[in-house]
Chains A and B, each alone.
Chain A
Amino acid sequence: MYIIRKTVSLFLTLFLFSFAAFMAFQIIPGDSVVAMLGTEATPEQIAQMRSELGYDKPLLTRYWNWITGFAKGDLGISQGYKLPVADILRDKIPITAALSILAFLMVVIISFPLGILYAKLLGSPLNPLLVALNQIVMSIPPFFIGIIFTSVFGIGLRLFTPGNFVSYKDDPAGFWLYLVFPALAIALPRSAQTIKLLRSSILTETTKDYVRSGTSRGNTKNRLLYVHVLRNALIPVITFLAMTFSNIVAGSLIIEQIFVIPGIGRLLLLSISNRDYPMVLTIVMIIALVVILMNYLADILCQIVDPRTRIR
């Protein structure tokens, strides 16, 4: 029942967003057909182009054509490249996906053990220092970390060559190696946020009655923590991680710029400056799809971990 309700809501959300996004790109000032043909174009040429692209049809019909095309993988023609959008994206998506997934894995790998460790260290003299450090790391924007990484690890220590992106086809190992620092730049502030949330979530859980009863029955601290507390403490963290993933995807758009990675982010910025709106709309829609799906998965996952959420 819960899953059905969430699935219905998923499609409703997708519909609402796609409709809003499509409409937003229709009301923009400036005719994109004129932008494509140049100002020299005759009215006949413009009219012909408009009907070729289907711009003379009613808005709702165009929305329908666009969204069904999108579902089938027919993403329209880029105005800047004069090529099918799908063909251009085919090479770009895996790169951004690899970067985002790597960064996400780093967040999980860094924050879970540290979050638990920080929670355990409550009351130790190290605690305030760690909390302060965590708060500071949290406040450094990824692009600032990125700049420092390119110069320190790239130009200084020569661990990678900034701007010299290694394609996966040429050298798979080099490809992943090149992505390590950009991914880390995205992951660090996010990890700090996750650590903070996990720590406070664990600390809130440990004040609850079931932990006291558990202790009085002679359970060890570790057993209580790993078997009982963590399961409950992870619920808000899962929801947060879903949001983190979409933020990582957005963050990779900026990081790609600094590390000169030819992914969706650079394409998006280029398309924005070229006013290539079909391309921008498609990229936004793809990212929206990822974001909305991640939130849907997080809801389902939370429900599996914590059946209580079914009632809510």
Chain B
Amino acid sequence: MTKKRNYNLIFGIILSSFVVILLTVGVFWTPYNPDTMNASQRLKAPSAEHILGTDNFGRDIFSRVLKGGVSTLWISVSTVLVGLIFGVIVGAFTGYYGGILDEVVMRLNDVLNSFPSILLSLVLVSLLGPGKKNVVIALGLLFIPSFARITRSEFSRIKSLDYVKSAKLIGVPSLRIMFVHILPNTINTLLSTIAIGFNNAVLAEASLSFLGIGVQPPDPSLGRMLAESQTYLFSAPWYTLSAGGMIVLLILGFGLLSDGLGDIE
């Protein structure tokens, strides 16, 4: 094989860190207060003063995109964490022990995995009620299967390796083998799944909020901004493009990162 540069990884890292740094700044500082309305500055085009223009209430769009992006990213991080923690536990036990439980859990996983996550999250959120916390719970639950599946396949592969066998022979407790000896060896594969998880979480959160059943006001959200901007697309296209552009940047960055991480082996 010829040695090829991993462009996906390079661009993925550059783009995601750019967005994440930008949003981290947005946590502490935005050029304007994102909620301050200014009637004399309604729907102004991008300028030196407001680099992404202003919205229908005269609020600075760049500040709002930052705040919305922070909220979206925060929800995605929480969601991925919920999915990751429970997914790894389920996958570790089913992969390590196998047996009937493994069969049942994996069948269920197959069903959930083949199901469009947007639809299921819609139903779950409708059962739980809208709001930030419930979006995280619903999406987190839905992300468990994908992490469980990857962890399981890694565990069932690694458990038959010699070092695990010898650890068993000298009497290392099963839990210790699973989480101290096997888990660190699955990190590579898990990283790529985490990146794609972020990708899906951003998309799912934006879709739910776009439909009005995700994050509720006053919490900012990119999806809801996009829905609100629809009305002003003609008088203020920069409004829609900024909100949508931020979503695209997030998804693009994490997508490339996931591809790049997957190519490493």
Number of interface residues of A (CB under 8 A): 44
Chain A residues whose C-beta falls within 8 Å of the C-beta of B118 in the assembled complex:
250-251, 253-254
A225 to chain B, nearest CB (A): 22
Per-residue CB contact flags for chain A residues 237-269 toward chain B (1 = under 8 Å, else 0) read: 000000100110111011001100000000011
> Which of A16, A140, A272 contacts B122 (CB under 8 A)?
A272
Please tell me if the beta carbons of B248 and A139 are within 8 angstroms of each other in the complex.
yes
Please tell me if the beta carbons of A138 and B240 are within 8 angstroms of each other in the complex.
no
Residue B210 lies at the interface, judged by CB distance under 8 Å to chain A:
yes
Please tell me if the beta carbons of B207 and A141 are within 8 angstroms of each other in the complex.
yes
Residue A295 lies at the interface, judged by CB distance under 8 Å to chain B:
yes
B253 to chain A, nearest CB (A): 9
Q: How far is the CA of A117 from the CA of B163 in the complex (A)?
A: 47
Residue A17 lies at the interface, judged by CB distance under 8 Å to chain B:
yes
Chain A residues whose C-beta falls within 8 Å of the C-beta of B114 in the assembled complex:
243, 246, 291-292, 295
Per-residue CB contact flags for chain B residues 240-265 toward chain A (1 = under 8 Å, else 0) read: 10001001100110011000000000
Residue A28 lies at the interface, judged by CB distance under 8 Å to chain B:
yes
Q: How far is the CA of A268 from the CA of B116 in the complex (A)?
A: 15
Residue B126 lies at the interface, judged by CB distance under 8 Å to chain A:
yes
Residue A151 lies at the interface, judged by CB distance under 8 Å to chain B:
yes
Q: Is the interface of A mostly helix, strand, loop or mixed?
A: helix
Please tell me if the beta carbons of B247 and A144 are within 8 angstroms of each other in the complex.
yes
Residue A280 lies at the interface, judged by CB distance under 8 Å to chain B:
yes
Q: How far is the CA of A292 from the CA of B252 in the complex (A)?
A: 30
Residue A24 lies at the interface, judged by CB distance under 8 Å to chain B:
yes
Residue B75 lies at the interface, judged by CB distance under 8 Å to chain A:
no
Residue B73 lies at the interface, judged by CB distance under 8 Å to chain A:
no
A133 to chain B, nearest CB (A): 12
Please tell me if the beta carbons of B211 and A144 are within 8 angstroms of each other in the complex.
no
Given the known interface contacts A246-B114, A250-B116, the answer about A12 and B122 at a Cβ–Cβ threshold of 8 Å is no
B202 to chain A, nearest CB (A): 9
Given the known interface contacts A17-B111, A243-B114, A288-B115, the answer about A253 and B248 at a Cβ–Cβ threshold of 8 Å is no
Which of B23-31, B62-70, B80-88, B226-234 lines the interface with chain A? B226-234
Given the known interface contacts A135-B256, A141-B203, A272-B213, the answer about A250 and B119 at a Cβ–Cβ threshold of 8 Å is yes
Q: How far is the CA of A57 from the CA of B107 in the complex (A)?
A: 30
Chain B residues whose C-beta falls within 8 Å of the C-beta of A128 in the assembled complex:
7
Residue A287 lies at the interface, judged by CB distance under 8 Å to chain B:
yes
Chain A residues whose C-beta falls within 8 Å of the C-beta of B107 in the assembled complex:
9, 12-13, 16
> Which of B122, B244, B252 contacts A147 (CB under 8 A)?
B244
Given the known interface contacts A16-B108, A144-B244, the answer about A280 and B123 at a Cβ–Cβ threshold of 8 Å is yes
Chain A residues whose C-beta falls within 8 Å of the C-beta of B7 in the assembled complex:
128
Please tell me if the beta carbons of A143 and B210 are within 8 angstroms of each other in the complex.
yes
Q: How far is the CA of A288 from the CA of B116 in the complex (A)?
A: 9
Please tell me if the beta carbons of A148 and B115 are within 8 angstroms of each other in the complex.
no
Please tell me if the beta carbons of A24 and B127 are within 8 angstroms of each other in the complex.
yes
A94 to chain B, nearest CB (A): 19
Residue A304 lies at the interface, judged by CB distance under 8 Å to chain B:
no
Please tell me if the beta carbons of B248 and A144 are within 8 angstroms of each other in the complex.
yes
A203 to chain B, nearest CB (A): 12
Q: How far is the CA of A25 from the CA of B213 in the complex (A)?
A: 18
Please tell me if the beta carbons of B116 and A247 are within 8 angstroms of each other in the complex.
yes
Report A62-94 residues with CB < 8 Å from chain B CB: none
Report A147-189 residues with CB < 8 Å from chain B CB: 147-148, 150-151, 155-156
Q: How far is the CA of A139 from the CA of B248 in the complex (A)?
A: 6
Residue A305 lies at the interface, judged by CB distance under 8 Å to chain B:
no
Please tell me if the beta carbons of A28 and B127 are within 8 angstroms of each other in the complex.
yes
Please tell me if the beta carbons of B211 and A151 are within 8 angstroms of each other in the complex.
no
Please tell me if the beta carbons of A147 and B226 are within 8 angstroms of each other in the complex.
yes
Residue B206 lies at the interface, judged by CB distance under 8 Å to chain A:
yes
Residue B110 lies at the interface, judged by CB distance under 8 Å to chain A:
yes
Chain A residues whose C-beta falls within 8 Å of the C-beta of B240 in the assembled complex:
147-148
Smallest CB-CB separation from A207: which chain B residue? B1
Q: How far is the CA of A26 from the CA of B88 in the complex (A)?
A: 29
Please tell me if the beta carbons of B251 and A254 are within 8 angstroms of each other in the complex.
no
Chain A residues whose C-beta falls within 8 Å of the C-beta of B108 in the assembled complex:
16
Q: How far is the CA of A6 from the CA of B180 in the complex (A)?
A: 38
Residue A37 lies at the interface, judged by CB distance under 8 Å to chain B:
no
Please tell me if the beta carbons of A254 and B207 are within 8 angstroms of each other in the complex.
yes
Smallest CB-CB separation from B119: which chain A residue? A250
Q: How far is the CA of A225 from the CA of B210 in the complex (A)?
A: 43
25 A-B residue pairs with Cβ-Cβ distance under 8 Å, sorted by A, are A9-B107, A16-B111, A25-B127, A135-B252, A136-B252, A138-B255, A141-B206, A141-B207, A141-B244, A144-B248, A147-B230, A147-B244, A148-B244, A150-B233, A151-B233, A155-B233, A246-B114, A246-B115, A246-B116, A250-B119, A268-B122, A269-B211, A272-B126, A291-B116, A295-B114
A-B pairs, 8 with minimum CB distance: A250-B116, A139-B252, A272-B126, A144-B244, A139-B251, A151-B233, A250-B119, A250-B118
Q: A residues touching B (Cβ–Cβ < 8 Å)?
A: 9, 12-13, 16-17, 24-25, 28, 128, 135-136, 138-141, 143-144, 147-148, 150-151, 155-156, 243, 246-247, 249-251, 253-254, 257-258, 268-269, 272-273, 280, 284, 287-288, 291-292, 295
